[in-house]
């Protein structure tokens, strides 16, 4: 079983709604990631937090707002999304820099549908 | 040209066959290589993590890296219907790299 958990599993929201995706990891990792994955495509990196600081923002629109409350938790706040934002949103974690390994462990994902 | 090329398949094999999956890459700096398995509508699951050239075996899975040819492979022996999934290769240059370069994924079906 994955040690990265994500809630909710499914989310349907209108374009004017505000919602949040949540992720938690229990492996003591210090880097956490948000990815977006469209059907039949590989995951596409959105944000990286390292030691609870935002390290990478892949020019993601401001309607996506990440938050890292502590080293185990990662949130993605959603507001005024577009139908083309419908996708599988994946959270991942890895050891922090300098630990010698960078393999990422993914959660099960949240399937988001924007109406 | 994409940085990582992976045959999209689909690949269909009978149960018990050996499945061979391949990726080629153009960035000679890549040293860390991963294979993920992704079932439909689920998150990717890490299968293998290797560093530099050589072979690594884990149960029915063998990962091979040939850095001189910029070519990596994953072999699945005695394939089972439960191996039916999309397989993604991923790689990076350094162990501190957050960004992984992914292949497009190969969809495999193992027929009972």
Per-residue pLDDT of chain A (115 residues; tens, 9 = 90+): 459 999 999 999 999 999 999 999 989 999 999 999 999 999 999 999 999 999 999 999 999 999 999 999 999 999 999 999 999 999 999 998 877 889 999 999 999 999 9
What is the model's pLDDT at position A2? 53
Q: Which residues in chain B show pLDDT less than 70?
A: none
Residues 26-65 of A with CB under 8 A from B: 31, 33, 40-43, 45, 48, 50, 55-56
- Give the strand pairing for A110-114 and A10-13: parallel
Of chain B residues 66-105, which have a CB less than 8 A from chain A? 88, 92, 94-100, 102-105
* A35-54: burial string, b at 16+ Cβ within 10 Å, e else: bbbeeeebbebbbbbbebee
Partner-chain contact B104 A41, CB within 8 Å: yes
Instruction: Give the model's pLDDT for residue B53.
Output: 87
Which residue from A55, A103, A111 is facing B34, i.e. has the nearest CB? A103
């Amino acid at each position: 079983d994955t040690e990265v958990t994500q809630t909710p599993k499914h989310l349907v929201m209108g374009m004017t709604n505000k919602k949040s995706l949540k992720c938690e990891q229990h492996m003591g990792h210090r880097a956490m990631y948000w990815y977006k994955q469209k059907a039949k495509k590989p995951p596409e990196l959105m944000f990286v937090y390292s030691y609870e600081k935002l390290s990478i923002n892949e020019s993601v629109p401001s309607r996506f707002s990440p938050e890292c409350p502590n080293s185990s938790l990662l949130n993605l706040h959603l507001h005024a999304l577009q139908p083309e934002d419908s996708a599988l949103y994946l959270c991942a974690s890895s050891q922090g820099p300098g630990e010698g390994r960078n393999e990422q462990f993914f959660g099960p994902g949240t399937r988001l549908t924007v109406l | 040209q994409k940085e990582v090329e992976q045959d999209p398949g689909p690949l269909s094999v009978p149960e018990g066959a050996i499945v061979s999956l391949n990726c080629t890459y153009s960035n000679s700096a890549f040293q860390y290589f991963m294979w993920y398995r992704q079932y439909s509508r689920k998150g990717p699951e890490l299968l293998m993590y290797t560093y530099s050239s050589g072979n690594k075996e884990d149960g029915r899975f063998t990962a091979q890296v040939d850095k001189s040819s910029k070519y990596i492979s994953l072999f699945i022996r005695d394939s089972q219907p439960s191996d039916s999934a999309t397989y993604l290769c991923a790689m990076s240059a350094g162990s501190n790299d957050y960004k992984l370069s992914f292949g497009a994924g190969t969809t495999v079906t193992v027929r009972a």
